[in-house]
């Protein structure tokens, strides 16, 4: 029965992606946003997002919270609608992706060294590896393997260049990341979701278990850590900002250095979310109840 359910689920997802691929990118983005603006408030995740927002922004009125939730569902729907159009986004990047911090990207291209692009589930987070590849940085992105194995190909289909790759979270992820970084190839890690194996740092004034592997690698291999922000500038158009490498702490206490670097990167993310709260993934249970 489980095998049959997986097959049906995969068929439905692939059929939906095929249908969206037939539409122009801008229409597919709009359609996804419109669909989730309507359906999102009826999903169980809506209650999670509302509770998260009320805790993170106690000063916001119910109307402001509702507007942020509406914007969040629009953004998530647009991100889904854009999913089958990654190659179109790459092909039209000159008109669709505004990049700040290109000097940092070009320096990495001209003089390869281990580097970690650190970001969050903001706007369409898939734009980061697309934009990096257009400037010669082919990211190995860490992702969560789908529960349905029949959907694995849906993730690999999104890669827009043969030198881009995906690294599934799990027991072997650390070894694979270490191998890639030691080859002076860059990786991308989203560090804004709860991780039991992470460490507690402050996020919106509350303790949150946070992935710290990027900090471990950065300190071990002297990697550059590049905070990278993605914003939606209207429809299927984006702004990517790559900040200069973060300063790595050196207190003489490795565990404290890892904590300080993880906190610094998380503080960047909090600042970005505060500026554009409707573009973050509030449906995730980021904090303990």
Backbone φ, ψ for residue 236 (5° rounding): -90, 50
Percent of the chain with pLDDT over 90: 72
Separation of alpha carbons 152 and 145, rounded Å = 7
> 171 pLDDT band (50/70/90 cuts)?
confident
Distances (CA, A) of 55 to 46, 75, 282: 14, 21, 11
* Three-class SS state of 114: coil
pLDDT for the residue numbered 14: 85
pLDDT 10s digits, 182-191: 999 999 999 9
Average pLDDT rounded to a whole number, residues 106-111:
87
Average pLDDT rounded to a whole number, residues 87-91:
94
What single DSSP character describes residue 126? T
Long-range (24+ apart) CB contacts under 8 A made by 216-220 are: 216/258, 217/114, 217/116, 217/177, 217/178, 217/181, 218/116, 218/248, 218/261, 219/248, 219/254, 219/257, 219/258, 219/261
Q: Find out whether 187 and 140 touch, Cβ atoms under 8 Å.
A: yes
Q: Which residues, in sequence order, are bridge partners of residue 230?
A: 240
Global pTM?
0.92
Average pLDDT rounded to a whole number, residues 9-34:
91
pLDDT above 80 (res 154): no
Distances (CA, A) of 9 to 151, 170, 204, 246: 8, 23, 36, 42
- What's the mean per-residue pLDDT of the chain? 92
pLDDT above 90 (res 163): no
Backbone φ, ψ for residue 112 (5° rounding): -55, 135
pLDDT 10s digits, 227-237: 999 999 999 99
pLDDT above 80 (res 56): yes
pLDDT for the residue numbered 81: 96
Largest CA distance in the chain: 56
* Three-class SS state of 23: coil
């Amino acid at each position: 029965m489980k095998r049959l359910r997986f097959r049906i689920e995969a068929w439905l997802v692939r059929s939906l992606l095929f249908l969206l691929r037939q539409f122009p990118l801008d229409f597919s983005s709009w359609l996804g946003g419109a669909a989730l603006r309507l359906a999102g408030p009826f999903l169980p995740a809506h209650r999670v997002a509302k509770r998260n927002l009320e805790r993170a922004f106690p000063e916001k009125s119910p109307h402001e919270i509702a507007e942020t939730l509406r914007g969040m569902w629009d953004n998530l729907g647009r991100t889904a609608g854009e999913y089958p159009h990654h190659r179109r986004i790459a092909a039209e990047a000159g008109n669709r992706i505004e990049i700040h911090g290109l000097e940092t990207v070009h320096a990495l291209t001209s003089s390869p060294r281990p580097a970690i692009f650190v970001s969050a589930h903001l706007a369409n987070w898939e734009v980061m590896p697309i934009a990096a590849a257009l400037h010669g940085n082919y990211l190995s992105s860490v992702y969560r393997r789908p529960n349905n194995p029949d959907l694995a190909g849906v993730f690999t289909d999104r890669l827009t260049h043969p030198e881009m790759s995906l690294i599934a979270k799990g027991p072997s992820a650390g070894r694979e990341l270490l191998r890639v970084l030691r080859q002076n190839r860059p990786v991308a890690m989203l560090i804004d979701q709860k991780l039991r194996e992470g460490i507690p740092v402050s996020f919106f004034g509350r303790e949150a278990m946070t992935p710290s592997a990027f900090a471990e690698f950065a300190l071990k291999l002297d990697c550059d850590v590049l905070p990278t922000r993605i914003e939606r500038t209207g429809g299927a158009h984006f702004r990517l900002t790559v900040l200069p490498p973060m300063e790595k702490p050196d207190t003489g206490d490795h565990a404290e250095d890892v904590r300080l670097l993880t906190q610094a990167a998380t503080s960047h993310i909090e600042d970005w979310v505060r500026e554009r709260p409707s573009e973050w993934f509030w449906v995730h249970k980021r904090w303990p109840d």
